[in-house]
Structure 1
């Protein structure tokens, strides 16, 4: 890899996010820390043991928990836009979606915006990204990259790097394992005279949750509990909650999601679109040996279900689907946890832990059957909230926790600040350093802005923006009329202290009109100061 000439630190003015202060260093630090940023795709906080949810106690994550034990758990970490590509753009730029251009899954990232990796690279860092990139732009600011094609495949995936001339080439193995191999190889072969920043971006546990061969039968005897809100009828909620297309009952498919490939061979089978394509998409990626292992695991279970299906009630079928979903999802998490352990073990073996910032997070939250759903997108807690664990022995006391409100636009400013680099004045996020002691500064932000844009699109979640404070949440759903004007659809308001599962919309409650008015004022302020152009 090329060695970069070290240049002087940038002298840029810091911006202040409404409701919080930004702390930026102006001096160089003696030894810049290494950064290992591990981000999974769709990993819910409910399935990480450090957060204490029942699911994670039945399917523990001991290696991810090592980061929590050595560092700090952020109990109120959130995303700005609960969708994969926009979330990645927020990470790289420290900007909201409308500022960086990536509002939806499709094209949009403004490549003229500065990526934090470029600033690290210009200031002595050797930089790398491995795994899921998922933006329609080339990775920039990286000395090394090896990234998956689009969403990537679980089995024998395709990667491209700087030496492949833009061509994706297939590699044999399971994606989670391959990404870790590449990440450790980068650390091994780095320029040891420089600090490094490594982004480890896993494909897992993204839909359709394909476990690696050794875990195909893991948790088969575990009965995962049904969420309290599993049979939610969305009473009091606005229309968007009623018309979404992301339920386990009606949206989750037998062939693609639940892997009952036997149905693809039934003629005619019209319950799903392109069932043969779904089956082919998976099996074409596998070796004959992998197909045999896969079939030996799934075929007997599938045959048992199909034999009994006609005599089962709709509720029994729904519960069966839920258990298959949870088991496959958590099998993928088991592999992630193993691979996180490999990276942590290597850092410890090489005596790199003391001067390395280790971050574990996801690009957003995910529904584990709450409200009867899977997927994300909504501003409700399960999708807006994301896991965030950070270990850095020099600055973070082990086993710390904080309830301070943080957001994924804060990652880039944090890395720059810890590296002694002033953030660009246009970056909206703020460094998380003031929280590393476990205490929340008096001038820390009191609320967060959220905005989801991707409609009409898969899962049919309506556009909305809103504000979440420590206790209350205001959501504004909107749509476009025939002339292209944005019009109000409906508002929702929740008291998260009394109603943490967001079942009771209090927008029109006389008791809460003062709080509703205050959050509406905050929402208007965000829209004005951030120059939001649709709502």
Structure 2
């Protein structure tokens, strides 16, 4: 009798084990690609004509492109914390780049691990501490370096030889190739590029420095009809970009020409970044950049402020878009690898950025503001089993929703504490409506770029922003009539009714997301007490 029960138990265990493996096999793999500071304008699928990103565009052709994806806090580390936790910054605690992130709190990778997924984090995370929720991690230290970078690989510091974008791709593909094939996998494949100070791969420098890029219509914006925040921000390409670190003018030439550096670390950035190159890399770099700088040196005495702005814009775009080219190369290698290994049909591939970025609009670089170029992030997703090729969506999805959506696909229950929601049914066409407004907060002030603290709400058509701390100013924009946000209509009598409706909507959404003025005061007190 005992033998009979043992046999039955063994058979039952074998059946359950087989069923579990079969269930795991059916669950999708997930590749989440996040670049850093990649504006949607610099992805050719969005139609701005700045550059060509043939491989990222494949995700749009074979999947879905979101036109109105946004972030909750347009800053590197806070955006990543929101991705992991599915919670707003004031809930997960990572309000700015300086605040510590508590890795002990739940994140979606931990939940995937608990439900049979193998997980990895490779590339930039920009948060202190050992990442939790990952079977394997290979992360850059802080912002990371473009050439011959340092990584922390499973807790051990290593300097790798090569270009950071390529190395991040190499490690991602290697991890997938050597994974446990009995488990579904999720890998966070995070690129440093195109983050400042924009050092392209050597294979791209000659072609990109030879190009002239179209200037945005608002390059010389004077900020009339806008408030104090836009007028006092320190992110103007002419006034606030560094000459050596950003534009690659050699420090000796900066001194010779009497160029005034806005930033104390300007020359150090140049020396540190290029100083990481080996002799062959530096020689190849100098062979392209030195003639550009000599030409600038000859022209400089006769250049007007307008000439200088235009020159600096081109230098910015040449290097920025040059770094994007290597990111696109990596996406192509990944998609080819998945196809060659019969993984493409059952793998969800997500491409996004940690926020948007100014590519000369309003004369700016960087992000932080709730204005469109900073608020919006690219989002393209491919999953042949559910997503119709060539789809587009105007749904107001946010990075707040990534964790719930990934858990939904993995068949894992979404914790009630997560504030985002799955947009899976938007992608598979089962639902058309998602949310009617998104909520945004920004806290890193006073700090680099001097973008004032603010919060606000955006609907399909309107945007209401409140700047506070050392200001008390409201801005309202009609995005249908004024997509470039050139005219604050908050005090316009014609928008009195809209203004009232937006205030009510803002109050309601703040209550729903558990934010308040008391939260703002608490974070202000923390800064003052440092």
Pair in the same fold by TM > 0.5: yes
- Secondary structure of the 1:308 match is helix
Which residue of the partner structure matches residue 45 of structure 1? 40
Quick check: 1:111 aligned with 2:100? no
> Does the aligned pair in 2 maintain the 1:468–1:474 contact within 8 Å?
yes
CA root-mean-square deviation: 1.6
SS of equivalent residue, structure 2 residue 319 = helix
Map of 1:484 onto structure 2: none
Task: State how far apart, in whole Å, the 1-side matches of 2:421 and 2:312 are.
Answer: 42
The aligned counterpart of 1:520 is 503
Q: Would you say 1:159 and 2:151 are equivalent positions? A: yes
- In the alignment, the residues of structure 2 paired with residue 113 and residue 525 of structure 1 have an alpha-carbon distance, to the nearest angstrom, of 27
Aligned residue runs from structure 1 range 60-209, under 5 A: 60-162=52-154, 164=156, 168-209=157-198
The residue number in structure 1 matching 2:437 is: 447
Aligned to 1:485: none
**For the pair shown, which has the larger CA radius of gyration, 1 or 2?**
2
Among residues 465, 468, 471, which one is paired with 1:478 in the alignment? 468
CA drift at 1:351: 0.5
Q: CA–CA distance in 2 between the matches of 1:417 and 1:368?
A: 35
Distance 1:348 1:81 in 2: 35
Provide the rounded CA distance (Å) in 2 between the counterparts of 1:96 and 1:249: 34
Q: Counterparts of 1:198 and 1:411 in 2: how far apart (Å)?
A: 14
CA-CA distance at 1:253 after TM superposition: 1.4
1:335 to 2:330 alignment? no
Whether the 8 Å CA contact 1:176–1:204 is kept in 2: the answer is: yes
- Establish whether residue 534 from structure 1 lines up as the match of residue 520 from structure 2: yes
Find the residue that maps to 1:218 and give its secondary structure: helix
Q: What is the Cα deviation at residue 109 of structure 1?
A: 1.9
What is the rounded CA distance, in whole Å, between the counterparts of 2:211 and 2:418 in structure 1?
Answer: 46
1:511 to 477, 488, 494: 494
Task: Output one character per residue of 1:293-347: Cα deviation in whole Å (capped at 9) or x when no partner.
Answer: 1111100110000111011111111101001100111110111111110011000
Per the TM alignment, residue 103 of structure 1 is displaced from its structure 2 partner at its CA by: 0.4
State how far apart, in whole Å, the 1-side matches of 2:286 and 2:25 are: 56
Q: Distance in 1 between matches of 2:253 and 2:430?
A: 55
Q: 1:111 to 1:219 in 2, by over 3 A?
A: closer
User: In structure 1, how many angstroms separate the alpha carbons of the residues matched to 2:257 and 2:225?
Assistant: 41
8 Å Cα contact 2:235-2:449 kept in structure 1 = yes
Q: 1:71 to 1:274 in 2, by over 3 A?
A: closer
Q: Give the CA deviation at 1:283.
A: 2.5
User: Post-superposition shift, 1:236?
Assistant: 1.3
CA contact (8 A) 1:131 1:200 kept: yes
Is the CA contact (8 Å cut-off) linking 1:400 and 1:438 kept in structure 2?
Answer: no
In structure 2, stretches of 5+ residues that fail to align are 1-15, 17-22, 522-530
Shift of 1:261: 1.1
- TM-score normalised to structure 1 length: 0.90
Decide whether the 8 Å contact of 2:165 with 2:326 is kept in 1: yes
Partner of 2:477: 494
SS in 1 for 2:285: helix
Q: Which moved more, 1:32-41 or 1:134-143?
A: 134-143
- Residue 108 of structure 1 and its aligned partner are, at CA, apart by 2.8
Shift of 1:217: 1.5
What's 2:351 paired with?
360
* CA distances 1:142-182 after superposition (whole Å, capped 9, x unpaired): 00010001100000000012252xxx221100000000000
Cross-structure match for 2:528: none
Which residue number in structure 2 is paired with residue 20 of structure 1? Answer: none
Q: CA deviation at 1:198?
A: 0.5
Deviations for 1:260-299, whole angstroms, at most 9, x for unmatched residues? 1153674696722245422321132110111111111100
Q: What does the per-residue CA deviation read over 1:33-78, in whole Å, with 9 as the maximum and x for residues that have no partner?
A: 00000000000000101111121xxx20000011111100001000
* Counterpart selection for 1:467 from 432, 451, 457: 457
Paired residue for 1:289, among 250, 257, 280?
A: 280
Q: Which runs of 5+ in 1 are unaligned?
A: 1-7, 9-27, 481-487
